[in-house]
Amino acid sequence: MAQVLVVTSGKGGVGKTTSTAALGAALAHDGEKVVVIDFDVGLRNLDLVMGAERRVVFDLINVIHGVAKLHQALIRDKRLENLCLLPASQTRDKDALTEEGVAAVIAELRTKFDWIICDSPAGIERGATLAMRHADAAIIVTNPEVSSVRDSDRIIGLLDSKTAKAERGERVEKHLLITRYHSSRAARGEMLSIDDVLEILSTPLLGIIPESEEVLRASNIGSPVTLCNALSAPARAYFDAARRLKGDKVPMIVPSDNRGIFNKLFGRKAA
Amino acid sequence: MSLFNLFRRGTAPIARERLQILLAHERVARSQPDLLGILREEILAVISRHVAFEPDKVQIKMDRGKSVSTLEVDIEIPNGVTLTLAKAS
């Protein structure tokens, strides 16, 4: 049974696209059939982060308008054959995404993949609400910082009211993914701690991704961080999060940013 | 200011407190319009079974006070037609 996930946040720049690529690649690496969809019409970037920007021929809007068949628009990853990308269009037309069109594409993808991961645009407008529309579960990406936490709270409200599941009286399963976390700064009281964020948003934690130069390095070369350097701290945290999505019980490790013996000892476990 | 900086223990607790207060307010504000919408619909359904009135001449307002909140329902009923009982169908 296919799972439709939306990766969302409200606020921009918190790591939705990075997380979509990293989790999609991690799930595919573990043998799952995965498609990642870019919903950011007009400002697509998932293709770039995945390193497929030169292979885009058709896109989501072309499929919705019947210009291309779904299989023509899907781009197969060169590293993992069971990972596909459905890119967004660069059109400026905001109404290019239609409710029925998105429903039809998601329904068709459900027959072909185990995981359908929708990368939401920032904001709470049409693109964002359509990205979450058919989700079975949501990953709310949050930075431990006031504006991001506030916007996440708003998005949680939308997930509980504007999704197809919510309208049927069901609940969209929600997972919190805290990104760009500095454990040392949180320990010094300079940054909201994991417990602070969890208490405020009262949403179950999917993972903690540490702030890391590896994330920028990965996007520079066009590779999900989980494929670029699978042993790096953020990659290990994403692999753990992907296994939790599959229902595995993986102990939550608060990633340390001290490069000491502790890091090595605890780091091993997560690999 | 310098004294404050000297004893500063980190700003995260301030962030946490500000968020808790702000979100408590925003969550109430979010749930309010829905509650009012539902109340409006159901109150009007009950009244329209007995009295004829124009739906856009109805005002429903909620005031949240510290100890007591009030729900104000203001329905303008035209003279003459006022209390004609609508026929039960």
The pLDDT tens digits for A141-171 are: 999 999 999 999 999 999 999 999 999 999 9
Residues of chain B with pLDDT below 50 are: 1, 6, 82, 86-89
Asked if the C-beta of A188 comes within 8 angstroms of chain B's C-beta atoms, the answer is: yes
- With a CB cutoff of 8 Å and minimum separation 6, the contacts of B82 are B51
How far apart, in whole angstroms, are the C-alpha atoms of residue A110 and residue A102?
A: 12
Give the confidence band of A204 by pLDDT, cuts at 50, 70, 90. very high
pTM of the prediction? 0.81
Average pLDDT over chain A, rounded to whole? 93
Cβ <8 Å between B9 and A200: no
Share of chain A above pLDDT 90, in %: 90
Which of chain B's residues have a Cβ under 8 Å away from the Cβ of A200? 16, 19-20, 23
Please give the pLDDT value at position A71: 97
Residues A135/A172, Cβ–Cβ less than 8 Å: yes
For chain A, percent helix, then strand, then coil, each to nearest 5? Answer: 45, 15, 40
Of the candidates A146, A190, A191, the beta carbon closest to that of B19 is on A146
CA-based end-to-end distance of chain B: 74
How far apart, in whole angstroms, are the C-alpha atoms of residue A29 and residue A243?
A: 11
Strands B69-75 and B58-64: antiparallel
Greater model confidence, B60 or A228: A228
> Mind listing the pLDDT tens digit for each residue in A167-194?
999 999 999 999 999 999 999 999 999 9
Cβ <8 Å between B19 and A186: no
Residues B19/A146, Cβ–Cβ less than 8 Å: yes
Please give the pLDDT value at position A197: 97
Give the confidence band of A266 by pLDDT, cuts at 50, 70, 90. low
Lowest-pLDDT range of A92-96, A217-221, A245-249, A267-271: A267-271
Greater model confidence, A260 or A20: A20
Please give the pLDDT value at position B72: 87
Please name which of A223, A113, A233 lies closest in space to residue A180, comparing C-alpha atoms.
Answer: A233
How far apart, in whole angstroms, are the C-alpha atoms of residue A154 and residue A160?
A: 10
Instruction: Give yes or no for residue A49 having a pLDDT over 90.
Output: yes
CA A181 vs CA A145, A227, A237: distances in Å: 10, 21, 11
Mean pLDDT, residues A73-92:
94
